[in-house]
C-alpha cells in the first residue's frame, strides 16, 4: 500500500509540481520522480516478499476457513482472468490510438490526430486538483 502511494506521489510531483520553481528545474524534478519510483518499487517488492513468507510459513487453510484471504485464494482464477482481460482492453485501446495517429499522418490529415493542437484528451481530474490548489492559495492570502 505504501509503495503504491509513493509511486502515485512521484507521478503527482512530476505532473503537478508542488513548488513554483520545481517545474523549471528539470534535473531536480526528474531526480525526485526517479527516487520516489525506486522507493515505491522496493516497498512493493518487500511487501510481496513478506506476503510470500507468510503464505509459505504461517498460513493454515484449515484454521482460516472462509476469511478474506481464503476467499481470494479460492477465486484466484477468476481474479486473474478479469485482470488479464482488463490489460488486453487497455492495450488494444492504446494501440488503437497509435494506429489512428499513424493512419491520419499517412493520409496527411494532421488536424485529425490525437495531439496537443488537435483533438485534445484533457486531464480533467488533474486540472481540477490544480485549480483547487490555486483556489486554496488565493484564499490564504
Closest residue by Cα to residue 18 from 110, 129, 108, 122: 129
Indicate the number of domains in the chain.
2
pLDDT at residue number 39: 96
pLDDT at residue number 119: 60
3 state SS of 78:
helix
Do residues 136 and 81 share a domain?
Answer: yes
pLDDT tens, position by position, 73-119: 889 899 999 999 999 999 999 899 889 888 888 898 877 777 766 66
Do residues 82 and 137 share a domain?
Answer: yes
Distance of CA 21 to the CA centre of its chain: 25
pLDDT at residue number 88: 96
Confidence of residue 141 (pLDDT cuts 50, 70, 90): low
Q: What distance separates the 2 farthest-apart alpha carbons in the chain?
A: 67
8 A C-beta contact, residue 29 and residue 13: yes
Last residue of a domain, one of 9, 27, 59: 59
Confidence of residue 21 (pLDDT cuts 50, 70, 90): confident
Do residues 73 and 122 share a domain?
Answer: yes
pLDDT tens, position by position, 53-79: 988 888 888 888 888 888 888 898 999
Do residues 53 and 77 share a domain?
Answer: no
Q: Is the pLDDT of residue 133 over 90?
A: no
pLDDT at residue number 117: 63
Minimum mean pLDDT among 36-45, 46-55, 131-140: which range?
131-140
Amino acid at each position: 500500500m505504501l509503495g503504491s502511494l509513493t509511486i502515485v506521489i512521484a507521478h503527482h510531483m512530476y505532473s503537478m509540481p508542488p513548488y513554483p520553481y520545481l517545474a523549471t528545474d528539470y534535473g531536480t524534478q526528474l531526480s525526485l520522480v526517479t527516487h520516489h519510483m525506486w522507493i515505491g518499487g522496493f516497498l512493493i517488492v518487500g511487501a510481496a516478499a513478506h506476503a510470500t513468507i507468510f503464505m509459505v510459513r504461517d498460513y493454515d487453510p484449515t484454521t482460516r476457513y472462509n476469511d478474506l484471504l481464503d476467499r481470494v485464494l479460492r477465486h484466484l482464477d477468476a481474479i486473474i482472468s478479469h485482470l488479464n482481460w482488463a490489460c488486453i482492453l487497455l492495450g488494444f485501446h492504446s494501440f488503437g490510438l497509435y494506429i489512428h495517429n499513424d493512419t491520419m499522418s499517412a493520409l496527411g490529415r494532421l488536424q485529425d490526430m490525437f495531439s496537443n493542437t488537435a483533438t485534445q484528451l484533457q486531464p480533467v481530474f488533474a486540472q481540477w486538483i490544480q485549480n483547487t490548489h490555486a483556489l486554496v492559495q488565493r484564499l490564504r492570502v
